[in-house]
Amino acid sequence: MSRRPVIHKSNPATLEPLGDVECALPEEVPEMVETARRAQAAWSSQTPSKRSQLLRKVQGILADRTDEFAELVSRETGKPFMESLATDVMNALSVGDFAASRIEHVFRESKIDFGPLSSMMRYMGRSSHLIPRPLGVIGIIAPWNYPLAIPYSQVMMALAAGNGVVLKPSSHTPLTTVRMLELFKEAGLPDGLLQLAVGSGPKVGEAMAASDVDRIIFTGHADVGRRIMTIASQRLTPITLELGGKDAMIILKDADLKRAARAACWGAFVNSGQTCVAVKRIYVEASLESKFTSLLLKEVAALKQGFDLNDPGVSLGSMISEGAVKDMEGQLARAVEQGAKVLAGGKRPERKGCFFQPTVVRTEQHMDIVRKETFGPIVALMTFHGEDEAVTLANDSPFALNGSVWTSDVEKGREIATRLRSGTITINNVAYTYGLGATPWGGRGDSGFGRTHGDAGFEELIERQHVHLDRGKFSSEIWWPPYGKEGMEAMHDFTGLAFNGERDGLLQKLLKARRLMRR
């Protein structure tokens, strides 16, 4: 057997060692799937209320340990304690609460409405029913930017839907996931139901994509998502992709500019901009540019960057790695080369660790910094003349995950929202609905497809088996052999009654059909 690799994890803000985690081997992934499948058979046979009860116990343990998990997330990612608490722990609890509370609703059977055929089907003693049931084993490939919120919420949804799970966390943040798994075990989750496959994406992640899981949920970069999808397609494994974003913030002339500036500052620089729904493109009505820019730069200047778990005033942490910082330097250099103007930030601060200053850049729509994904603390500022141009510019992107409209006229905001491509549009707020467990999450284009969270997310974790019930009132069907002239006439009559509204001689036609079906 191959030698196991080990991840040596350090804090990207302080560079201090945090611990080591032993990786799984790619060849072990199929057995993990089978182990989860065996445990899932018993888990899915439990009543929804029993599954809910156990998941609520998990929730209770996490709620009692919010500070412990927030501190661990901060040390692994370099983000401020406040962000770990608000965007990781609280988001995890919110989605977990929704998942645990919605189980019985998800598994409620439903009866199909046949529409115009309803009366005829009742007469024939027939009905159709949809019976929800789990898919089996869900393979989750999670990212590093929210190492608790994303895997925890996706695991809770999958378990609530009666599935087993094989989880591959990011190699950047294995410690949080290991601790999360211990939490589930402490709550009494059945052995084997949740499997942890720590390791690199090209090895362990691709091994999962090639395995016989029943669905894959991947969150990460678009190029990696394409690779995972290609591998999964060989087994026809369905996949949910939540990929990158390039979120547009549209600020109309009647917006509350002070609130919009504060929102832009948070939305652009939360988690050092390493957020799929971070504000990356700000479109402000041209007459407001000077005033809004002044307000935004004032907010950015007030951000305190650093890492200190005992200082609640720290508002901006580090990036995840040295490579991420170099990527920001390269993207910004390219933007300046193309004519962008740096209004704030633009370089590394003079401190150790993987830091990059919060950066505001005045740009034009054609520039790479506007067109391509920027996973870091850089936001592009542009102007527009009129709402139609704002919509056109915001939609002019291969990404379509999230966005926002800012206006004092909420109805106008709603109308503009319906014209934007993104999966979620918020009016007068930014980038926070991931923490609302009842709302769906996902996008289109290079932002992926499918949904997590909400009832739409549950629909991707179950299948609704169709059961058609015939109470046996008749011994034959019109379209069963032996064929003959009488049967052909009855078939024409049936088609006319069912679809053309032909009611002439209704009783005689029904009697003829009944006679043929009782032969």
Residue 172 pairs in a beta bridge with none
22: amino acid identity, one letter: E
Mean pLDDT (whole number) for 298-306 = 97
At 443 the pLDDT is 96
| Residue among 210, 230, 228 nearest 220 (CA) | 228
d(CA 29, CA 204): 7
At 503 the pLDDT is 65
pLDDT band with cut points at 50, 70 and 90 for residue 291: very high
Q: Where is 168: in which H helix or E strand?
A: strand 164-168
**What are the angstrom distances between the C-alpha of 151 and each of 30, 58, 157, 181, 505?**
20, 14, 10, 10, 63
Q: Where is 134: in which H helix or E strand?
A: strand 126-134
Q: Are 283 and 393 in contact (CB under 8 A)?
A: yes
| Residue among 147, 86, 67, 90 nearest 310 (CA) | 67
**What are the angstrom distances between the C-alpha of 381 and each of 218, 364, 392, 399?**
31, 8, 16, 17
Q: Transcribe 272-296 into DSSP letters.
A: GG-STTSEEEEEEEGGGHHHHHHHH
User: Where are any strands of DSSP class E within 206-265?
Assistant: 215-219, 239-242, 247-251
pLDDT band with cut points at 50, 70 and 90 for residue 259: very high
Query: Tens of pLDDT along 214-237?
Result: 999 999 999 999 999 999 999 999
Residue 184's contacts (CB-CB under 8 Å, 6 or more residues apart) are 58, 155, 194
Residue 172's contacts (CB-CB under 8 Å, 6 or more residues apart) are 9, 76, 77, 144, 147, 320, 321
Measured in whole angstroms, the distance separating CA 250 from the mean position of its chain's CA atoms is: 23
Task: State how beta strands 359-362 and 462-470 pair.
Answer: unpaired
Query: Tens of pLDDT along 486-516?
Result: 888 888 877 777 677 666 666 676 677 777 7
At 504 the pLDDT is 66
**Above pLDDT 90, what percent of the chain?**
88
Mean pLDDT (whole number) for 383-406 = 97
At 438 the pLDDT is 95
d(CA 272, CA 416): 29
At 493 the pLDDT is 79
Query: Tens of pLDDT along 35-94?
Result: 999 999 999 999 999 999 999 999 999 999 999 999 999 999 999 999 999 999 999 999
Say whether pLDDT at 420 is over 80. yes
Say whether pLDDT at 2 is over 60. no
369: amino acid identity, one letter: I
**What are the angstrom distances between the C-alpha of 240 and each of 28, 233, 375, 441, 485?**
23, 12, 21, 11, 52
Mean pLDDT (whole number) for 314-336 = 98
- So which residues are the catalytic ones? 242, 276
At 507 the pLDDT is 61
For the chain, list the domains and their CATH numbers: 29-243+456-464 (3.40.605.10), 247-433 (3.40.309.10), 476-517 (no CATH)
105 vs 504, residue with greater confidence? 105
d(CA 202, CA 228): 9
Say whether pLDDT at 132 is over 90. yes
Say whether pLDDT at 197 is over 90. yes
At 58 the pLDDT is 98
Say whether pLDDT at 381 is over 90. yes
Write down the residue that tokens 């209320």 correspond to. 49
pLDDT band with cut points at 50, 70 and 90 for residue 120: confident
What is the residue-averaged pLDDT of the chain?
95
